[in-house]
Amino acid sequence: MTLSDSFSLAYRTVRSNKLRTGITVAIIAFGIMALIGIITAIDAMNGSLRESFSTMGANGFSIAYKERFRFDDNREVRKEKRGKKQKKSNLDKPIQLSEAEAFKASFKMPGLVTIQLNGMGGNEIRYKDKKTNPNVNIRGGDENFLQVNGFTVEAGRNLNKLDVESGRNVCLVGSDVASKLFGSNNAARGVDKIIVVGAVPYRVIGVLKSKGSSALMRADNVIITSYNNVRRLQNSSPSFILGIMAGDVQQMDLTVSESTALFRSIRKLHPTEEDNFVIEKSDKLAATFIGLLGSIQGAAGAIGLITLIGAAIGLMNIMLVAVNERTREVGLIKAIGGKRKNIRAQFLFESTIISLAGALFGIILGVLVGNLFSMFLGTGFVVPWAWVVLGIVICSGVGLLAGLWPAIKASRLNPIVALRYE
């Protein structure tokens, strides 16, 4: 009896027990589907995050008065660092316009500085009888804002110093806003048009090129005006933000150090006092988010592993039942010259076939379910090949381990007793 004979016999046995096989395959498939589906969705989110944060530039960073992305709950407790102490009066001190302007005027390193002020989100923009969804963000900046934040003017012009100093009602619109109000593929059509933000009219001086917005960060769904204009709007941010683009990515660390020292002097901090502002780099923010997704990925692995352990136990029980049901068959094989290794091979093939069938269906379903999420994020089709291969290897191991004891038990049956078994 050859291995091919054992495999053929195992395959026919699996096909003949459709209900039992189907239930076991479904259990394994759901475990693999949960694992591969979550991993696929997380890979799509990782790609979307990298896309979003890459628009900020590798040589760019910002200075804000507190962290905009914080995941701990240490709002009241501040740790002492390097012997520095933090005065209570400095714990929550927004960046004032005078401080931001002083920093911009005093910055001597190669590079650019922009002063930013965020307006209220969730705005509806109207042009004649057309309007956007109420989810457009208003951002205020200066003549350097576009370059520091990676925007490019497709039609029209950038903000100039007169626009910034006067705070007049002029703006640049993102490509998503322009498409909804003026139609797609014709950016020049929107220049010099009057749009209404809330109840305030603005003249469009430029339309921006698309930055490839993702579902996590819609950089194209934006209106950019001067920070002096945003100051007059209701519910604008209480603090200004400084955006800095280093002249060379190799000088990034030096620029950060010099900027920190300069802003400490502007904020009049004593050498023993801790910084009352934060430096935020795009790669740091991306790493923070991706690190959180890594934790979710670990949880997904644990869920899939627990499900597969349950499936392995179920598969072993089914194989033990199969041994009892086919005792006479085992005795007949031994009577015609079959050896123990042939019996073991048959039952191991059977359990492995069931396990790999579950892996196949689980991987297909997992990739499809995960890519439904990637379609929502607007990313491309994602296949986590490493996890697909790992899933096949794991299921092969599950099939072998689950079938090992039943195969050994079957191979040890006495052929005379087995043939008399009813």
- pLDDT value for 52: 56
Q: Which residue has the tokens 């240490």?
A: 74
CA distances from 323 to 6, 26, 336 (A): 15, 22, 18
Q: Which tokens sit at 76?
A: 């009241």
Q: Is 273 helix (H, G, I), strand (E, B) or coil?
A: strand
Instruction: Tell me how crowded residue 69 is: count the other CB atoms within 10 A of its CB.
Output: 9
- Kindly list the distances between the CA atom of residue 402 and the CA atoms of 304, 310, 351, in Å, as whole numbers in the listed order: 17, 11, 7
For residue 283, the model assigns a pLDDT of 62
Task: Quote the radius of gyration of the chain (alpha carbons, Å).
Answer: 32
E strands present in 81-217: 111-118, 125-127, 130-131, 137-141, 153-156, 170-173, 194-197, 200-208
Question: What single DSSP character describes residue 136?
Answer: B
Residues of the chain with pLDDT under 50: 70-84, 86-89, 215-216
Rounded distance between C-alpha atoms, residue 286 and residue 51, angstroms? 10
